[in-house]
Amino acid sequence: ILNVEQSPQSLHVQEGDSTNFTCSFPSSNFYALHWYRWETAKSPEALFVMTLNGDEKKKGRISATLNTKEGYSYLYIKGSQPEDSATYLCAFYQAGTALIFGKGTTLSVSS
Amino acid sequence: NAGVTQTPKFQVLKTGQSMTLQCAQDMNHEYMSWYRQDPGMGLRLIHYSVGAGITDQGEVPNGYNVSRSTTEDFPLRLLSAAPSQTSVYFCASSSPGGQGREQYFGPGTRLTVT
């Protein structure tokens, strides 16, 4: 059974702090790595889908990197704002299998 | 453009009852899937479809049935509800490329089985 690990499980930061989370996944037969943002009482929304080793993606203050050889991805948030409070999910896709989601990192940003 | 819609939003069932969770998308996406979300667990894939007339099982298919007669609709049937099926159910769709592509999620259905 494929396993996707996210750390930390939860995180509390102050407004303006920069932070990062880790997603670890199997390094064999890699196809794609997804990051989603999930706000309370809403549905998950895609942030990034990355497919190439060394990929770096950016959307505003949020960016992500990918290392398929060692099986990890980092999500960075620069200058956290209260509206960044959410659960961040990563999901790993190995061709021919299901999209496997991690349990998420819950970020709380206080002003 | 409504995206992915799900009905109902909430449902309470008694053990042994059957019901259908509805999912529809208006983005002409070929790929659709059903997930369940349980406390302390990630989203787990129940069933998926790569196009009309084609369905396949995901990680946790037991107790659920699906069909895909049109591109737009992908209903999930609970054949005989059990308390273990108490969960939040999400439907998702994506453009060709399936799970390698960004998934668009519906708002979810919260199901309680007593």
DSSP label of B73: B
For B108, half-sphere exposure in the C-beta direction (CA atoms, 13 angstrom radius) is: 18
Q: Find residues 25-64 of chain A whose CB sits inside 8 Å of chain B.
A: 31-32, 34, 36, 42-46, 49, 51
Task: Inform me whether the C-beta atom of residue A24 falls under 8 Å from chain B C-beta atoms.
Answer: no
| Residue B96 host element (H or E) | none
Local confidence pLDDT in tens for the 114 residues of chain B: 789 999 999 999 999 999 999 999 999 999 999 999 998 888 999 999 989 999 999 989 999 999 999 999 999 999 999 999 999 999 999 987 767 789 999 999 999 999
- In this structure, chain A runs to a length of 111
Mutate to test the interface with B, among A99, A103, A106 (most CBs of B within 10 A): A99
Enumerate the H helices of A11-84 as residue ranges. Answer: none
Please give the helix or strand (H or E) that residue B61 lies within, else none: none
Task: Please list the helix, strand and coil fractions of chain B in percent, rounded to the nearest 5, in that order.
Answer: 5, 50, 45
